[in-house]
Amino acid sequence: MTTKNSSQRLALNTVATYSRSLLGAGLAFFSSRWVLNALGQVDFGLFSLVGSILIFISFLNSVMSGSASRHYAYAIGQGDQIEVNRWFNAALSIHLCLAISLTFAGWFIGDYVIAHILNIPQERIFVCQKVFHISLVSLFTGMLSVPFIAMFRAKQRIAELAGWNMIHSVLTFSFAWYLIHATGDRLVIYAFGMTAILFFVHSIQITRAALGFQECKFVIGQWFDRKRLKELFSFAVWNLIGNFGWILRDQGSAILLNLYFGPKVNASYSIAKQVSDQSGQLAVAMLGAFSPEITAREGRGDRASMINLSLRASKFGTLLVLVFLVPLMMEMEYFLELWLVEPPRYSAVFCRLILCTFLIDRLSSGYLLAVNAHGRIAGYQATIGTIEGLTLPLTWLFFYMGFAPTSVGIAFIITMLICSFGRVLWARHLLKVPIQRWIKKVVIPCCIVGSLAFIAAFLPNFFFQPSFARLVIVTGSSVAVYSVATWFVALDDKEQTFFRHNIQNLWKKLWRRQRHT
Higher pLDDT, 417 or 282: 417
| Amino acid code (one letter) for 29 | F
User: Would the pLDDT of 22 be above 90?
Assistant: no
Higher pLDDT, 126 or 507: 126
CA distances 306 to 290, 430, 502, Å, are: 10, 13, 22
Residues making up the chain, counted from first to last: 517
**pLDDT classification of 108: cutoffs 50, 70, 90:** confident
Give the span between the Cα atoms of 44 and 274, in whole angstroms. 12
Quick one: CA dihedral 59, 65, 68, 73, positive or negative? Answer: negative
What are the pLDDT digits (tens) for 221-248? 777 777 777 766 666 666 666 677 777 8
For residue 280, the model assigns a pLDDT of 63
For residue 457, the model assigns a pLDDT of 93
Higher pLDDT, 14 or 180: 180
Higher pLDDT, 410 or 215: 410
Contact 287, 310 (CB under 8 A): no
For residue 47, the model assigns a pLDDT of 83
For residue 478, the model assigns a pLDDT of 94
What are the pLDDT digits (tens) for 110-149? 888 888 887 888 888 888 888 888 888 888 888 888 888 8
Report the percent of the chain where pLDDT is more than 90.
23
* 29-33, 161-165, 227-231, 252-256: least confident range: 227-231
Of the candidates 453, 241, 265, 468, the one whose C-alpha atom is nearest the C-alpha of residue 359 is 453
Higher pLDDT, 458 or 156: 458
For residue 515, the model assigns a pLDDT of 55
Give the span between the Cα atoms of 308 and 337, in whole angstroms. 42
For residue 352, the model assigns a pLDDT of 93
CA distances 461 to 336, 454, 457, Å, are: 18, 12, 8
Higher pLDDT, 117 or 312: 312
| Residue 271 buriedness (CB in 10 A; 0-12 / 13-18 / 19+) | buried
Mean pLDDT of the chain: 82
User: Would the pLDDT of 405 be above 90?
Assistant: yes
Most confident of 62-66, 201-205, 249-253: 201-205
Give the span between the Cα atoms of 325 and 494, in whole angstroms. 27
- Average of per-residue pLDDT across 443-460: 94
Report the percent of the chain where pLDDT is more than 70.
83
* 237-246, 309-318, 343-352: least confident range: 237-246
User: Would the pLDDT of 439 be above 90?
Assistant: yes
Q: What is the DSSP letter of 331?
A: S
Non-local CB neighbours of 502 within 8 Å, separated by 6+ positions: 11
Give the span between the Cα atoms of 40 and 190, in whole angstroms. 12
For residue 125, the model assigns a pLDDT of 87
Higher pLDDT, 477 or 280: 477
**pLDDT classification of 441: cutoffs 50, 70, 90:** very high
For residue 32, the model assigns a pLDDT of 82
pTM for the full predicted model: 0.75
For residue 242, the model assigns a pLDDT of 67
Contact 103, 140 (CB under 8 A): yes
Quick one: CA dihedral 54, 55, 59, 62, positive or negative? Answer: positive
